[in-house]
Structure 1
Amino acid sequence: MTNRSTVERTGTPPSFHWHTLPAERVAEALQSPTSGLTAAEAARRLAQYGPNRLAPPKRRGPLLRLLLQFHNILLYVMMAAALITALLGHWIDTGVLMSAVVINAIIGFIQEGKAQSALDAIRAMLSQHATVIRDGQRQEIEAANLVPGDVVVLASGDRVPADLRLVSVKELRIEEAALTGESLPVEKSDAAVSADAPLGDRYGMAYSGTVVVYGQATGIVVTTGAATELGRINQMLSDIRNLTTPLLRKVDRFGRVLALAIVAMSAVTFMLGVWWRGHPAAEMFMMVVALAASAIPEGLPAIMTVTLALGVQRMARRNAIVRRLPAVEALGSVTVICSDKTGTLTRNEMTVQRVVCAGHVFDVGGVGYAPVGDLSIDGRIIDVEHYPALAMAIRTGVLCNDARLCEEDDLWRVEGDPTEGALLVLGAKGGFTQHAGHAAWPRLDAIPFESQHRFMATYHRDSDDEPWIFVKGAPEAILDMCASQLAHDGELPLDVDYWRRMATDTAAQGLRMLALACKRAGPLEARLGFDDTRSGYMLLALVGIIDPPREEAVRAVGECHHAGIRVKMITGDHAETARAIGAQLAIGVGKPAITGAEVAMMDDAALRRVALEVDVFARASPEHKLRLVQALQDDGQVVAMTGDGVNDAPALKRADVGVAMGRKGTEAAKEAADMVLADDNFATIAAAVREGRAVYDNLKKFILFMLPTNGGEALVVIAAILFELALPLTPAQVLWINMVTSSTLGLALAFEPAEHGIMSRRPRPPGEALLSGFFVWRVLMVSVLMMTGALGLFLWELNDGTSLETARTMAVNAVVAAEMFYLINSRFILATVVSLDGLTGNRYVLLAIAACVPLQIAYTHLPAMQAIFGSTDLTPVEWGKVLAAGMLVFSVAELEKFVIRRTRLAGRLNG
C-alpha cells in the first residue's frame, strides 16, 4: 500500500489500470469478497482513504477579491483623473469619476464570484447515495462513505457514485457523454480491455457522475473522491488560471504606455516652463495639471463597459448569453474555433441515410426526426412498394423496435433509444407507421437487446395469421443467423462477401450500422427463446445511420472559413464518424483524423505542429482537449472552445473564449464558460463572432475619436507654454470639454452597426497593438488639425483686439465643434461618410450632437456658466468662425481617407 498521506490525498489504493484486469483480479487486489466489506473494514478504509467527495477549492476572501478589482491600469488612470479634479476643487467631477471606479470594481467582483461556481457544479454531479453490499446484505449508504473495495449495485436511473470495475452486467447502458462526448449510451460488459483503450472504450468500467439509462450491474469501487475521473477533471479546473482576453491585454498595455507618456510629457513641460521660460513653479504646476487633464482618457473605461454591454444585448437576441463582458470582444478576435460535434455541429438526432439491400443501395433524404424525405437510387426517387426487400426491411425496423416517435407543437422527438427512433422515422418516410404496423402485425413476444448477444428479436403474426420473427442488431451477429437474402426477384442464397464488402463501404462513410433480417416461422416453444435465433433467417438489409450535421452549421463553418477562422472538431466520438461529419461540414477534408491516443504520445512541440495542421480530433479525453487548446495558444492563436460535458470544462476555462451549450450542457460546462448558447447551435457562434468584431471596431473608433480630441487640447496647452502665449484653455475649461464631449459624443460610437464586409476580413493578428502605425498617424494628424483650428482662431482673435475671455470662449467652442464634426468622420475608419448613410446611419451620433449643441450654447451665454468658466457671449460672425474651424477637421479627415483608399487600391492593382 502507498503511505497514508498519499492515499488520503488521492483516495485510491496502488495505481492499476483497472480496466485491463479481469474482475477476479480486481476483487483480489482490493480484497473485496462477493459478500462485500464488513462494517469494520469499511470504517478502517474510510479513515485511510478519506471520504468519497471532492475537496472544495481554496478561495480568496471577499475583501481581498474586492480590493484586487482596483488593480487595473484603467482604474488607476481614472483615479489619477479624480485626484487631479480634486486638486482643482471640482468635487462633482471627482465624485463622478470615483463612482465609475467603484462601479467597475463591483461588477468585476460579482463576475469573479460567479466564475468560482464552475467547481461547485462539478461537485454537484457526484451521487448523494449508493446501494452497496456490506456484511452480506444490500443497504443504501451516503455516497461519501464509499471506499475502495466496496461492492456497489447499479440499476436504471442511478448516477454512478464512484469509479467502478464492473463484475457482473445485465443489459447495462450508461450515458457517458458528459465525460467522453460519446453521442449514444455505451453498452457495458465485464470484459477487460487493453491498457491504451480510451475512456469511451473501457466497457468494463463505470465512472463517477455518469448515469445508468438501462439495465443492472454490480461493480467494485476502485477509486473514490479526487482520484476518480471526475476528480481529475476537477483538479485540472483548479489548476487552470484564468486568462485575460486579447482586448484587456491590449488595453492594459495601451493604458500603461499612455500613462507613462502623460507623466513624461507633463514632467518635460513643467521643466521647460520653469527652467527655460522662467515661469513660476506654482503657475506651471496648474498648467501641467491642465495638460494632464486634457490627455487622460477619462471616458475609456465607461465607453468600454457600455460598448461591451451593448454587444451582450445584441448577442442575447441571437441566442448567445454572455457571462463575462470582455468575452464579447474576444470572440471577434478568435483565429481558431474548436468545436464539439454532437448537438453543436450536428442535430443530435440519429438519421438513416443509407439502406443496402441485395442488389440495390438506397439513399434516404431528410434529416432529423421529422419524417420528411424521399428514398432514391442514384438521385431517382423510388416507390418503396416496388422493392420487396426494402419494404420488408422497413417493416422489420418499425416492428422490432421499443422506441416511440412523437410530435408536440410541430416538433418531432423520440422516446427511447435514438437508433431505434431513426428506424421509426425511416418507416414513416416509407409509408409504414408504428401504430398501423402493430395493428396489422401485433407483437406477441420479444427478446430485448443484450450487449452479449448484440441483437433484438420480436415475434409477430401478420393479417393472415402467419407467424414471423424479426431481428435487428450488429451486422456480424445477424449474418451468423442468416442462410439466405431477399433480393428484388425473391429469396436467394446468402452472398456473405457482398454483405461484408457493403458493410466495409458503409462504415468507411462514418455510418453506424444495423442489420435487419426475418424468418417466416413461429417460436419452437410457447415463448420466443434464443434457440429461435440460431439459424434459418433471411437477410433483408444493412442500415447506415448517422447524426447528421445541422444545415445552418454547414453555412456557419463556411462563413468562418471565409472570415479566415480555422474550425476544428474535437469530439469523443469515433474517428470514422468524426471524419465523415467533418467532410460534410468542410472540416478537415483530405486530412487525417487524429485520435486522443495519438495526441497522448506527442510532446508539446509536435502537438503544436499537429494542432495547426489537423482539423479533426476524435476519441479525445479532457486532457487531450486541454492540451490542444494550450498548443494552439502557445502558437499565438486566439482560441474559442465549445463543449457541453464536464469533460469539456477544463478546455472551456483555458480557452480565450469558452462557449457552453445551454440546452444539453452540464452545469459544470456552463459555469466554466464565458458564453452559453441558448440554442446549442454552431451558427450562433458565427453570428457572435460578427458581433464581437463589430464591438472591437467600435472600441477602435472610440479610441480614434478620443485620442485626437484629447491630443488637440494637449497640443494647444503645450504650444501656449512653449511659445509663452496666454493659455488658450484653462484647466476648468479643459475638464468641461472632456466631460461634455469626449465621453458624451464618443458614447454614440458604441451604437455603431457592423460595417459591410466585416466577416470578409482576416482575423486581426493576435499580437497586433491597439494603436497601429496608421492609428498613430491619424491621431497626430487630427490632433494637429484641432490645435491649428483652436489655437489659430485664439491668436487671430487676440491679434484683432478681442478680449482674452472671448478668445478663450471661441477656442473652447472651436475644439468642441471640431469634435462634433470629427465624430461623424469617425463612424467609418476608411470609408467616406459623405453619403446619406454616412451622415444619418447612426441616429445616436445625431442625438449626441443635438444634446451637445445646447450645452455649448449654455456654456457660452448663461451668466452662471460664464461665472464658473470665464466664458463670454459670441456674435453670429464669431460662431461662424467656430464652425469653419470644425469644418477644417472634417474636410481634411475625409480627404485623408480618400487618398488612403486610392493608394491601397493602386497597390492591389499593381500587386
Structure 2
Amino acid sequence: MKIEPLGESTDPLVNIFNTTVAELLNIVEAYRQRKLAEDIELIESEGGPLSFEDKLKSSIKHGLSNKEDQTERISLFGSNKPAKDRPKTYFQICWEVLEDPILRILVISGLISLVIGATLDEHPAYGWIEGFAIIIAVCVVVNVTAVNDMQKQKKFKELKKRNRTGRVVTILRDGIWSSMHPKHILVGDIIKIENGITIPADGILIDGSQIEVVEAAMTGENDNIKKLPFEEAVRIKQEYYLNNPGVLEGMKKSEEDKHHEIPSPVVLSGTNLAEGVGIMIVIAVGKNSAEGRIYDLAERSDELTPLQVKLARVASAVGKLGLVCSIVTVITLYLRFIIEIASGEISWNSNEHPLLLVKFLIIGITVLVVAIPEGLPLAVTISLAYSIKKMQNENNLVRKMQACETMGGADQICSDKTGTLTQNLMTVSEMWAGNQALNIEAGPPSQGTFQAEFLHLLKESIFMNSSAFIDPVKGKQGSKTEIAMILLMQALGHSDCIETRKTYLDRYHRIFPFSSKRKKSSIIITTDEGKLRIHVKGASEVVSGCCTSFLTVDGKSHHIDNETSKVIQNMILRMTDNALRVIALTYRELPIDVDIEKFDSMGFPELEKSNLTLIALIGIRDPIRPEVPGAVKECQRAGITVRMVTGDNKATAKAIARECNIISKDTQTVMEGKDFSIKTGGTVCKECKTKICPCPRNSKEAKNSTKPIREDVVADLEAFKEIVSNLAVLARSQPDDKYTLVTGLKQLGHVVAVTGDGTNDAPALSKADIGFAMGITGTEMAKESAGIILLDDNFKSIVRAVIWGRNIYDNIRAFLQFQITVNIVAVISAMVGAITIQQSPLTSVQLLWVNLIMDSFASLALATDPPTDDHLNRPPYKKTEFIIEKRMWKHIIGQSIVQLIIMFCMMYAGEWFLPEFGSGTSILYNENTDYVISGRTYNPDGSENYKPYLSDPNIGPSRQFTYIFNTFVLLQLTNEVNARKIRDEVNAFERILKNKIFIGIWFFTFAMQVLIISVGSYAFSCHLKGLSVEQWMICIAFSAVSFVWRIALVFIPTNIFSKVHVDENRSSARLLSIRGSSLQRERINLNTT
C-alpha cells in the first residue's frame, strides 16, 4: 500500500540530516494505515534503523551528544515541549455565553424596552429603567458564567502542569543513560521504555523483550498490541510471507484488515507500555507525533447535558406560553379598540390614541418579558459554580459539567480496587516458608528461623527478580508489591538491596519481564559456581502448580508429595480468603547448555513452566481504606450498585469485596475476566457485529467514510444481562473487560460511573456516563478522558460526588418550582388585567423588580442550598425522568391558583375590603366607607376610573394597586421558602438556618421591598405615602396564606395530577413539553486547557 507523503520540506537543514519530517511521519502513517506490514517494508526501504544513525546524526550505542547545537535539530523536527496552553480569553467566554438564544431575546427585548420607555412612555424620566435593568440582568448571567469558567480553566491548567512536572524518561546521551523530563526528547534520541510508562514520542524499536503496548487511548483498540524490535519483526514478516505465498496479492483484492498479524516495531506516543522493556530511536516529537497530531485535530464537541436538555424544554415552553399570551393580549386590545371605534363608543383622538396603540404593544412586550425565565440560566450557573467549588474542597475536581449533574442519576459504580478501595500500601502480612506458616504482622521471624542457605536464595529471589528499590534520597521506587518484599528482607536484617544488585551486574543472563497473561516474571543469573539459575516469581495459583519441590529452612530441597501439595494449596486458599495477594517465589537450577530461547505457542518461556522449587509463599495485604465499607453501604442505601473490577484472583478479590461490603449476600457472584469475556462475547460494532470493522470511530474519520460512526455493544446482551444481575466482582480482569462491563450496563439503561488510573482505562472512562480518574496515581490520558478527577484517589469522594450531583438537580428543581409559579401568576394576571381593564396589576417596572431582582436573588438563594446525607435515602433519578414531577406540579398549580385568587380579588374588589388609613391630599377613601378608592385606570366597559387622579402630582398612583404590588411580592417571598421543599415535606423551614445565603438574600429582598413601597413613588407606581403599618400587616397576612395552603397541598393526593404529567411529555403543543432553544452555554469548557 502506498502511503501518501504528508508534505515535503524545502528547508536547507534537510541536507544536514539527510531526511525530512515528511519521510519520518510517513513511517508512522504507514503503521497507522497498515493492512499487514507496510511500515516494516517502508523502514526496510529506508535502510533499517541503522540508516537513521546517519540520517539523524545519532548513534544507537551512544545516543545524541549534549555538545551538539540542538537549534538546527529542533528547527527542522520540532520540540517535545508541550504547546503552550491557549485558554479562552474572558471576552471569548462571554461571547460564547451570549450565543444562548434566551439571552439574545432578553438583550433585544431590553433594548426595545429601553428605547420605547425613554421616548414614548408616559413617564420617560424613569421609563427607560426597565430595559436598562434587563440588560444589566444579562450582564450578570454572562459575567458569572465567564468568571466560573476562567477559574476552572486555571485550576485544571495547574493540575496538568503538576502532572507533567513529575514525568521522567530514560535517555541515552554521550553513552550515558540519564533520567530527564520528556520535554527534552529530540528526534534521533535513543530512549528506554519500561513497563507502565506512557511512551513520550513516536519511534522505532531497536531492542527489547516481551513488549506489549496498549493503544486504546490512541486507536480505541482495547487489546494489548505485541511489538518487536525491527530485526525480529523483519524475520517474522519473512516467515509469514514464506508460509502464506499468496498473501500480498490477496491483500490487494481484499478489504480484510490484518493490522496486527505481523508485530510492528513502530510505537506511538501517548500509548502505554503494558509489558516488557525496550529501546527505541525517536522519529517524531511534539506536534509532529501521533499524540500531538490527535490533540491538534481533536474535535471537542460541546454536547448538551441531560439537565440542559430538560431545562431547554422548560425554558422554551414557558417562553412560548408567554409569547402566545403576549400575542393574545395585543390582538385582544387592538380588536377591542377597533370595535369601540367602529361602534361609536369612542371617537378617534389624534393626540391620545396613537400613543395608546403603542402602549398596547408595550403591554404585549411586558407580558413576553415576564414570561421569559431569565433567572433560569443564572440559577444553573450559580448552582454549578457553587457546587463545583464545594466539590473541589471535597477532593472532586469537576472537568466536565455533565459529569457533575449526571452523577446525581448514577445507579452503577464500577470501581478499581488498588488505591480507591484500598490504601495502596502493600505490606507482607503472612509467609509460608520452610514448611511453616509465619505471621509477619505479629513481628518478623526471629534470628535463627532460617539458615544461611535458605536466606541466600530468598534474598536472591527478592532482590534480583525485581526492579524496585529503596533509595536513601529518592525513597521507595518501583512496584509496591516488590517494595513490600524488600521491606521484609530489611526486617530479616538484609538492607543491602542496591549493593547486592551491583555484585550481580555481570551475572545477569536473561530477563523475562512480568506479563499479565502469564502472571509471572523471571530472571536467569549465573551462580557463584558458574552455573545458571532461573528465579520465577508470580501469582501463587499459577506458579505453585509448576513446582515439584520446596525449600526447607536449612536450604535443602524436598519433593512435594500429595500431602505437602494439599498444605501449600490450603495455605494459598487461606491467605486469599483473608484478602491477601499471594506471591510465589521459586527457582530452578539450569544446565549451561540449556535453550533459554525456547517458547511455547503463547510465546511464554518453557523454562519457567516446570521443575521449579518453591522458596516461599508471600501474603501481601493492601489495607482497606477505613471509610470504604461505610461509603459502600451509603451507596447501596442510595440505590446504587457498587461493583469491583480488579486484577486480583477470585479468592482475594472476593475477600476484599466482603470486607468492603460490596458482597453482602451469598447470591452475589465473582467472575474472572476471561470467563466474562467468553460468555458475553466482549464488545462488537453494532452495525457490523464484529470486533474489528471499518466503521469510523469519530466524526473526523466519518467525513471520509460512507459508514456510520461505530457504536460498541455487547455481543451477547442476554448472557450479559444474566451475568450482571448478581455480579459483584470482576476478578483477573483486563481493561477491555471493564469496557465491556460499562458498555453492557449502559445498554441496559443504567447510568454508570467508573474509576480508572491508567492510559488503558481511557476507553472505559470515556464510555461511562461519569468517568473518575485518579488524581494521584492516574495518567494524564486517564485524566483527559475523565469527567471528574479524584484528588485523593478515595472512594469516599465518589459518594460525596453522588450527594452533590443529586443536590444540584434538587436545587434546580426547587428554583423551577418557584420561578414557574411566579411566571404563571404574573403572565395570567398581566394578560387578564390588560384585556379587561387595559391595565396590568403590575407595571413594567414592578415586574422588572419581580423578574430581575427576585428571580436573580432567588436563583442564588435556592441554588446554593447545601446537600445532606438524606440525598442517599432515595434512589437516583433517571435520565428520562421529566424535571418537573407530579408533586411539583401540585404545588406549582396550587400556589398559582391561590395567588391568582388573591390578586384578582384585590384587583376587582379591593375597594370593598382593603382598608384605608390616614389623611391628606393623596389619601382617597371609597365613598361612604373606610376602604380604599378603586385604583383601576379604566372600568371593564372602557370608561375612565382612576385615570384623572394619575395626572395629579398631589395624588399619583393608587393605594389599591400598591396593596396589590406589595402583596404579590410578599407572596413570592413566602413561596420562596415553600419552594425549598420539592417532596411534600411538611416543614418548609427545615434546615433553613443552614443556608446563610438564603437567609441573607430573603431579608435583603424584604428590606428592598420596604424601601420601594416607601419611596418608590411614580418610578415604581407606588402610592406617594407608601403603605401604613396596618396595611403592611394586612399584606403580610395575605402572603402567609401561602404557608398554610402549602401544608394543605401536602395532604392532597398527588395522583390527581397524573394527567398533567402525561400531557407534558406527549405533545409539543402542551405545557413544558415543547422542544426549543437550549441553554447551550451554561457549561464549563476545560478540554481546551
Q: TM-score, normalised by structure 2?
A: 0.63
1:816 is the counterpart of 2:969: yes
| Separation (CA, whole Å) in 2 of partners of 1:755 and 1:319 | 17
Cα distance, 1:690 vs structure 2: 0.6
Per-residue CA deviation, residues 266-320 of structure 1 (Å, 9 max, x unaligned), is 1123223333585864343233233223322222222222222221222122111
Q: Is the 8 Å Cα contact of residues 293 and 731 (structure 1) preserved in structure 2?
A: no
Amino acid of the residue matched to residue 1022 of structure 2?
A: G
Q: Is the 8 Å Cα contact of residues 34 and 259 (structure 2) preserved in structure 1?
A: no
| Separation (CA, whole Å) in 1 of partners of 2:751 and 2:569 | 42
**C-alpha distance 732-480 of structure 1, shift in aligned 2 (>3 A):** closer
- Percent identity over the alignment? 24
**C-alpha distance 835-807 of structure 1, shift in aligned 2 (>3 A):** closer
Task: Find 1:870's aligned residue among 1007, 1019, 1022.
Answer: 1022
Match of 1:711 in 2: 824
- SS of 1:882's equivalent in the other structure is helix
Q: Which runs of 5+ in 1 are unaligned?
A: 44-49, 135-139, 365-372, 376-382, 461-468, 521-532, 905-911
Q: Is the 8 Å Cα contact of residues 827 and 838 (structure 1) preserved in structure 2?
A: no
Q: Is the 8 Å Cα contact of residues 458 and 471 (structure 1) preserved in structure 2?
A: no
Task: Find 1:70's aligned residue among 81, 95, 98.
Answer: 98
| Separation (CA, whole Å) in 2 of partners of 1:126 and 1:314 | 30
| Separation (CA, whole Å) in 2 of partners of 1:829 and 1:607 | 42
Q: Is the 8 Å Cα contact of residues 240 and 653 (structure 1) preserved in structure 2?
A: no
| Separation (CA, whole Å) in 1 of partners of 2:314 and 2:716 | 30
Q: Is the 8 Å Cα contact of residues 476 and 483 (structure 2) preserved in structure 1?
A: yes
**C-alpha distance 899-720 of structure 1, shift in aligned 2 (>3 A):** same
Per-residue CA deviation, residues 415-466 of structure 1 (Å, 9 max, x unaligned), is 34423212245567xx645459999x99986866952481488999xxxxxx
Q: Is the 8 Å Cα contact of residues 646 and 733 (structure 2) preserved in structure 1?
A: yes
Cα distance, 1:633 vs structure 2: 5.1
Match of 1:454 in 2: 522
Task: Find 1:695's aligned residue among 772, 785, 808.
Answer: 808
Amino acid of the residue matched to residue 552 of structure 2?
A: L
Match of 1:807 in 2: 960
Per-residue CA deviation, residues 381-419 of structure 1 (Å, 9 max, x unaligned), is xx95599579998997567544556999xxx97334423
Match of 1:318 in 2: 394
Match of 2:637 in 1: 562
Match of 2:2 in 1: 2
Q: Is the 8 Å Cα contact of residues 178 and 646 (structure 1) preserved in structure 2?
A: yes
- SS of 1:454's equivalent in the other structure is strand
Cα distance, 1:762 vs structure 2: 1.2
Q: Is the 8 Å Cα contact of residues 166 and 217 (structure 1) preserved in structure 2?
A: yes
Match of 1:263 in 2: 323
- SS of 1:728's equivalent in the other structure is coil
| Separation (CA, whole Å) in 2 of partners of 1:675 and 1:391 | 52
Match of 2:982 in 1: 829
- SS of 2:682's equivalent in the other structure is helix
Match of 1:593 in 2: 673
Q: Which runs of 5+ in 2 are unaligned?
A: 8-21, 59-75, 118-127, 176-181, 241-256, 341-355, 513-520, 590-607, 690-711, 914-925, 927-931, 936-957, 1058-1089
Cα distance, 1:621 vs structure 2: 8.2
Match of 1:728 in 2: 841
Match of 1:486 in 2: 552
| Separation (CA, whole Å) in 1 of partners of 2:884 and 2:1055 | 23
Match of 1:523 in 2: none
Task: Find 2:192's aligned residue among 143, 154, 163.
Answer: 154
- SS of 1:451's equivalent in the other structure is strand
Per-residue CA deviation, residues 713-761 of structure 1 (Å, 9 max, x unaligned), is 2232233245447532222222122334333244222332324521122
**C-alpha distance 496-127 of structure 1, shift in aligned 2 (>3 A):** same
Match of 2:1047 in 1: 894
1:683 is the counterpart of 2:780: no
Task: Find 1:348's aligned residue among 392, 413, 424.
Answer: 424
Q: Is the 8 Å Cα contact of residues 370 and 827 (structure 2) preserved in structure 1?
A: yes
Per-residue CA deviation, residues 740-790 of structure 1 (Å, 9 max, x unaligned), is 433324422233232452112211110112222332332121111112223
Match of 2:886 in 1: 773
The residue correspondences of 1:298-697 to structure 2 (distance < 5 A) are 298-325=374-401, 327-352=403-428, 355-357=431-433, 373-374=441-442, 384=445, 388=449, 401-402=462-463, 414-426=476-488, 432=492, 434-435=494-495, 450-452=510-512, 454-455=522-523, 473-474=537-538, 484-486=550-552, 492-495=558-561, 498-499=564-565, 502=568, 514-516=583-585, 539-545=614-620, 550-567=625-642, 585=660, 586=662, 589-591=669-671, 593=673, 598-601=681-684, 603=689, 604-607=712-715, 609=717, 614=724, 636-649=749-762, 652=765, 655-697=768-810
Q: Is the 8 Å Cα contact of residues 821 and 896 (structure 2) preserved in structure 1?
A: yes
Point out the more displaced range, 779-788 or 297-306: 297-306
Q: Is the 8 Å Cα contact of residues 338 and 639 (structure 1) preserved in structure 2?
A: yes
The residue correspondences of 1:188-199 to structure 2 (distance < 5 A) are none
Cα distance, 1:491 vs structure 2: 7.5
**C-alpha distance 654-71 of structure 1, shift in aligned 2 (>3 A):** farther
Cα distance, 1:143 vs structure 2: 6.4
Point out the more displaced range, 746-755 or 98-107: 98-107
Q: Is the 8 Å Cα contact of residues 206 and 279 (structure 2) preserved in structure 1?
A: yes
Point out the more displaced range, 784-793 or 239-248: 239-248
Give the greater-gyration-radius structure (CA).
2
Q: Is the 8 Å Cα contact of residues 333 and 838 (structure 2) preserved in structure 1?
A: no
Cα distance, 1:826 vs structure 2: 2.2
Match of 1:293 in 2: 369
| Separation (CA, whole Å) in 2 of partners of 1:18 and 1:262 | 60
Task: Find 2:306's aligned residue among 238, 242, 246.
Answer: 246
Match of 1:465 in 2: none
**C-alpha distance 837-489 of structure 1, shift in aligned 2 (>3 A):** same
Cα distance, 1:793 vs structure 2: 2.9
**C-alpha distance 119-809 of structure 1, shift in aligned 2 (>3 A):** closer
- SS of 2:584's equivalent in the other structure is strand
Amino acid of the residue matched to residue 454 of structure 1?
A: S
Per-residue CA deviation, residues 10-40 of structure 1 (Å, 9 max, x unaligned), is 644766999999x9x9899667557444746
Q: TM-score, normalised by structure 1?
A: 0.73
Cα distance, 1:640 vs structure 2: 3.6
Point out the more displaced range, 308-317 or 736-745: 736-745
Cα distance, 1:885 vs structure 2: 1.0
Q: Is the 8 Å Cα contact of residues 69 and 105 (structure 1) preserved in structure 2?
A: yes
Query: What do you get for the CA RMSD once the two structures are aligned?
Result: 6.1
- How many residue pairs are counted as aligned between the two chains? 842
| Separation (CA, whole Å) in 2 of partners of 1:142 and 1:746 | 50
Match of 2:243 in 1: none
| Separation (CA, whole Å) in 2 of partners of 1:711 and 1:451 | 76
Q: Is the 8 Å Cα contact of residues 449 and 456 (structure 1) preserved in structure 2?
A: yes
Q: Is the 8 Å Cα contact of residues 10 and 225 (structure 1) preserved in structure 2?
A: no
Per-residue CA deviation, residues 95-130 of structure 1 (Å, 9 max, x unaligned), is 412313542664587589889989999999999997
| Separation (CA, whole Å) in 2 of partners of 1:120 and 1:442 | 36
Cα distance, 1:834 vs structure 2: 4.0
Per-residue CA deviation, residues 608-630 of structure 1 (Å, 9 max, x unaligned), is 93776646668988888778766
Q: Is the 8 Å Cα contact of residues 596 and 624 (structure 1) preserved in structure 2?
A: yes
Per-residue CA deviation, residues 514-547 of structure 1 (Å, 9 max, x unaligned), is 4346999xxxxxxxxxxxx999997442224475
Amino acid of the residue matched to residue 134 of structure 2?
A: T
**C-alpha distance 263-513 of structure 1, shift in aligned 2 (>3 A):** same
Point out the more displaced range, 546-555 or 245-254: 546-555
1:94 is the counterpart of 2:134: yes
1:754 is the counterpart of 2:867: yes
Q: Is the 8 Å Cα contact of residues 395 and 437 (structure 1) preserved in structure 2?
A: no
- SS of 1:659's equivalent in the other structure is strand
Amino acid of the residue matched to residue 264 of structure 1?
A: V
| Separation (CA, whole Å) in 2 of partners of 1:684 and 1:433 | 40
Point out the more displaced range, 659-668 or 1-10: 1-10
| Separation (CA, whole Å) in 2 of partners of 1:59 and 1:640 | 30
